Amino acid sequence: MATIKPIDGRSVHQIQSGQVIVDLCSVVKELVENSLDAGATSIDVRFKNQGLDSIEVQDNGDGISPQNYETVALKHYTSKLSSYSDLETLQTFGFRGEALSSLCALSKFSIITCLAADAPKGTKLEFEESGKLKGTSTIAAQKGTTVTVENLFNNLPVRRRELERNIKREWGRVTGVLGQYACIQTGIKFSVSQQAAKGKKTTLFATKGNRTTRDNIVNVFGAKTLAALVPLELTLELEPTAGQGRKLVSKGDDGKTQIRVVGHISRPLSGEGRQTPDRQMFFVNARPCGLPQVSRAFNEVYKTYNASQSPFIFANIELDTHLYDVNVSPDKRTILLHDQTRMLENLKTDLIALFESQEYTVPV
Ligand code: ADP
Ligand code: MG
């Protein structure tokens, strides 16, 4: 019989890291979310060879202070959460303290960071595979942080080959996800550029620190897309149920749970908006996520008005942090919504009412 023994620390680190950073998309998502959590108003994402050579995310956020250099990339070290109960009121994208440590295990990883008071002198941080700080050096920098990920998955040959083989599909997902952050985040300048292996740099899109998601959509998808959209603004009211825990009851005096669904959707008239790209984006309190059942509910209603095309949907579900759980998968894209079945019933009813209203059915 084989002896049962613990897996060595290095292997455990690699096994876990591969679950946090599963593909190119997760790298981009984790880095952009860190920049947003750091209060950045400008985020510049630069790819070389569609990310196969390098991914660089530069922000003008708070920067990292010297006392955190040693711990910044250690597993489960985070400045955002200290106990499990904090999750219920979580305001940041990150909370697991796993992204940077995972990137150390899976790529050539470095950080340049600079506090406002130190500009134009920043510090470059380099790390060991384990996330331990290897060394620091002084370098010219402006306030903020630049994270560079090179040769992603080079030490996981199977995954690297898969990434190279599927780069076209993966690149589509990466630009899609960046478009989602760029559209939902108002007041932030997002810019995304790519440099081919031997080519010149091209900017894919750039937002201008707009005040509305409407203007962001114009910057990312173009004015033509916007012209086919109408505002989506629903307030769902869920009656309290007998078994509902106290914590799940919203603060409204009638005990009703209020959920707002805000964004933009294609006008449901056939012949209208045919140029609309087939894109559907869902957010929970501005956190991009996959919500297959919500998407299905939207499409079901839309189909009864326009069977020939599926809608462009940009929908942010605004609700109390007690009413959902983001800690379902390491990539945080799966979100459990409390009482989803009832919420979807209300959503469908309200959506029908919206589409039936004069303003939405008569072309303007
Ligand atoms: P998490 O985001 O869950 O805390 P990460 O591994 O993504 O875990 O990041 C670890 C810590 O590094 C963060 O808690 C934050 O303090 C710091 N950090 C990461 N990226 C940035 C950034 N762009 N600007 C400032 N601090 C950062
Ligand atoms: Mg993070």
- In percent, the amount of the chain with pLDDT more than 70 equals 90
Q: Of 58, 81, 100, which is best to mutate to test ligand 1, by the most ligand atoms within 8 angstroms of its C-beta?
A: 100
| CB burial of residue 303 (10 Å; 0-12, 13-18, 19+) | middle
Q: How far apart are CA 249 and CA 258, in angstroms?
A: 9
> From the CB of 327, is ligand 1 less than 6 Å away?
no
What average pLDDT is seen over the chain?
Answer: 88
Instruction: Ligand 1, residue 57: give the atom nearest the CA.
Output: 23
Ligand 1 probe mutation, 20, 27, 72, 113, most atoms within 8 A of CB? 72
**Residue 125: closest CA among 52, 59, 68, 60:** 68
Question: 95 C-alpha to center of ligand 1: Å?
Answer: 9
Q: Is 79 in the pocket of ligand 1 (CB under 6 A)?
A: yes
Atom number in ligand 1 closest to CA 96? 3
Q: What is the pLDDT of residues 37-90, one digit of tens each?
A: 999 999 999 999 999 999 999 999 999 999 999 999 998 888 887 777 777 777
48 sits in the region (left: phi over 0; alpha: psi -120 to 50; else beta) called beta
- Smallest CA-to-CA distance from 304 within 331, 278, 273, 269 is with 269
List the residue whose alpha carbon is closest to atom 16 of ligand 1. Answer: 79
Q: For residue 1, what pLDDT band results from cuts at 50, 70 and 90? A: confident
Q: Determine the distance separating the centroid of ligand 1 and the alpha carbon of 107, expressed in angstroms.
A: 17
Task: Look up the pTM and report it.
Answer: 0.90
- Which numbered atom of ligand 1 lies nearest the CA of 35? 23
**DSSP letters along 157-200, please?**
HHHHHHHHHTHHHHHHHHHHHHHHHHHH-TT-EEEEEEE-SSS-
Query: Is the minimum distance from the CB of 181 to ligand 1 under 6 angstroms?
Result: no
CA–CA dist 356, 55 (Å, integer): 46
Q: What percent of the chain is predicted at pLDDT more than 90?
A: 60
* 123 CA to centre of ligand 1 in angstroms: 16
For residue range 120-165, what is the model confidence (pLDDT) as tens digits? 999 999 999 999 999 999 999 999 999 999 999 998 999 999 999 9
Distance 78 CA to ligand 2 centre (A): 8
Mind listing the domains of the chain with CATH numbers? Answer: 9-215 (3.30.565.10), 223-361 (3.30.230.10)
Q: What is the reported pLDDT for 281?
A: 94
Across the beta sheet with 133-140, what order do the strands follow? 133-140, 121-127, 108-114, 144-150, 54-59, 42-48, 189-195, 201-206
For this complex, say whether ipTM is above 0.85: yes
pLDDT of residue 247: 45
Residue 30 confidence (pLDDT)? 95
The larger pLDDT score, comparing residue 303 to residue 53, is at 53
pLDDT of res. 278: 59
Ligand 1 atom closest to the CA of 92, numbered from 1:
2
Residue bearing the CA closest to ligand 1, atom 12 = 72
Q: Is the CB of 145 under 6 A from ligand 1?
A: yes
Residue with tokens 């370098």: 139
Q: What is the pLDDT of residue 17?
A: 84
Protein residue with its CA nearest to atom 19 in ligand 1: 34
- State residue 249's pLDDT score: 44
